[in-house]
Amino acid sequence: MRWNTQDTIAAIATAPGAAGLAVVRLSGPSALACADRVFRGRAPLSQAESHTLHHGWAHWPGDGDRRLDEVVAAIFRAPRSYTRDDVVEISCHGGTLPARRVLDALIAAGARLAHGGEFTLRAFLNGRLDLAQAEAVADLIAAETEAARERAVAQLGGELSRGLRALGERIADAVAEVEARVDFAEDVGGVEVPPHVVQAVRSVHDDLGALLDGAAYARAVREGVRVPIVGRPHVGKSSLFNALVGEERAIVTPNPGTTRDRVSESVELVGVRVVLSDTAGLRSGHDAVERIGVARARAALAESPIALWTVDGSAPLEPDDHAVAGSLAGKRVLIALNKSDLPGRVEAREVEALVPGGPRVVAASARTGEGVGELREALADLLGASQAGDVARLAPGNERHVEALERARAALGRAASAGQAGAPGEIVALELREGMAALGEVTGQSVSEDLLERIFSRFCVGK
């Protein structure tokens, strides 16, 4: 690994900018000695007990007259620290310069600047956290909704890891029995896999499937979702956008084609940060500017797995409506049958039939507010409101986790099918071990150095 875990590392652990305090973190075998070259207090930090605070001054190393800031040093001795190495956290005054100068002094005293995520990497390598818990640290920092925070805290506390370990133990039991039958085939009458083992493997396969069923919602909670409001011009997209976000964000006029660029606003639904986008009406643009707006609307639609299609319920369907419907293939779609305050000219079943998969149609009026609440509820259901609860806490929302668990489930499915077909135990055991290895990738039991570098390089420096 390109990161030397025997180095003593240092970084600013708090966000830049004006603040009451900033924290500079130091970790490694020489953390206390390095800190003593900078810190001046009543006694050397190397003589201090763990989990104690010490008031003093930060000085430039080797220059006792060159004070940098008044500070408080917190001591955490190995292994009772975040990294399980010796850790010193120096609290200085907030702002850009105080923390920067303390960090410069620590580097001059023998530390090196930490890479992104290197403190948490050391916590993983030293066994304080498994890989799923380590990734939850970054999720917790990035959480923008209460549901995302709760989910990250649950994963940091080991709920996902414990569930996966329990599944792994059940697979290990099956592997042990299958391999024992192979090793002692003469004593047990053959190498075929007994039915109760096949059933046990299928049970784990099904439990993984139930876990993965909540993955789409868990990922939406973790990452948020962009939902473009699309439709032909003059169907009330901007009015509907304003009604859904609760304020006048988009310009509304009686003239078709008013919206030329994407206007976005965030709302929270069932714990998911939803970025709604009012887009230009989808048609062949009349001028260069409108064509650019239409192109951006199509790009917004292409980027999102979900779309809110707005249809004017007071006018017959037009060719442009059919064209919009054709661009929605493969997406989760909610249809707003707008202008319900006017006499209806389109039935719900007509627009529903234009989009495969039986999308939900909600009649609403952006002008009066009628049906807007129901539209929000329908959008929440599309995001997975029925799974908002324990599934959000336990289901994998990290794309890496989902991919590994899908591979594990596929391997278990092959193992169960092979066992039921009477295949030799060696083949079944091979598939089972592949499933165990895929599970282990989530918690870090089996993971490459390249993957570790990719994961932790995304963390902020200081964490």
Mean pLDDT of 452-456: 83
For residue 110, pLDDT over 90 is answered with yes
Please answer whether residues 310 and 234 qualify as being in contact, where contact means their C-beta atoms are separated by less than 8 angstroms: no
For residue 248, pLDDT over 70 is answered with no
Give the β-pairing of 52-60 and 39-41: antiparallel
Task: Work out the percent of the chain whose per-residue pLDDT is above 90.
Answer: 54
Mean pLDDT of 46-53: 96
* β-strand partners of 343: none
For residue 322, pLDDT over 80 is answered with yes
Mention the CATH class of domain 9-130. alpha beta
* Residue 292: exposure state from Cβ atoms within 10 A (0-12, 13-18, ≥19): middle
The CATH code of the domain at 137-214+395-444 is 1.20.120.430
CA distance 28 to 217: 39
Residue written as tokens 């970054």?
Answer: 138
Residue written as tokens 């609307």?
Answer: 297
CA contacts within 13 A on the Cβ side of 328 = 30
**pLDDT at site 256:** 46
Peptide bond connecting 194 to the previous residue in cis, omega within 30 degrees of 0: no
Residue type, 328: L
In sequence order, what DSSP letters do the residues of 328-378 get, joined into one string?
TTTSEEEEEEE-TTS---S-HHHHHTTSTT--EEEE--TTT-TTHHHHHHH
DSSP 387: G
* Residue 179: exposure state from Cβ atoms within 10 A (0-12, 13-18, ≥19): middle
Q: Considering Cα of 21, then 25, then 26, then 27, what sign does the dihedral take?
A: positive
Please answer whether residues 280 and 261 qualify as being in contact, where contact means their C-beta atoms are separated by less than 8 angstroms: yes
Q: Considering Cα of 392, then 393, then 398, then 401, what sign does the dihedral take?
A: negative
Please answer whether residues 454 and 233 qualify as being in contact, where contact means their C-beta atoms are separated by less than 8 angstroms: no
Residue written as tokens 């092979």?
Answer: 418
Domain 220-387 classified CATH 3.30.565.10?
A: no
Residue type, 188: V
Tokens encoding 388: 């908002």
Q: How confident is the model at residue 21 (pLDDT cuts 50, 70, 90)?
A: very high
In sequence order, what DSSP letters do the residues of 49-91 get, joined into one string?
PSSEEEEEEEEETTEEEEEEEEEEEEEE-TTSSSSSS-EEEEE
* Least reliable range by pLDDT among 162-166, 234-238, 369-373, 406-410: 234-238
**pLDDT at site 460:** 78
Higher pLDDT, 256 or 164: 164
- Residue 306, classed as helix, strand or coil, is strand
Residue range 188-221, pLDDT digits in tens: 555 678 899 999 999 999 999 999 988 988 998 8
Mean pLDDT of 315-332: 88
Q: How confident is the model at residue 286 (pLDDT cuts 50, 70, 90)?
A: low
Q: Where are the domains of the chain?
A: 9-130, 137-214+395-444, 220-387
Q: How confident is the model at residue 463 (pLDDT cuts 50, 70, 90)?
A: confident
Mean pLDDT of 62-67: 82
* β-strand partners of 21: 93
pTM score, two decimals? 0.82
Residue range 255-274, pLDDT digits in tens: 444 444 457 788 888 888 98
Residue type, 195: P
CA distance 280 to 383: 24
**pLDDT at site 252:** 42
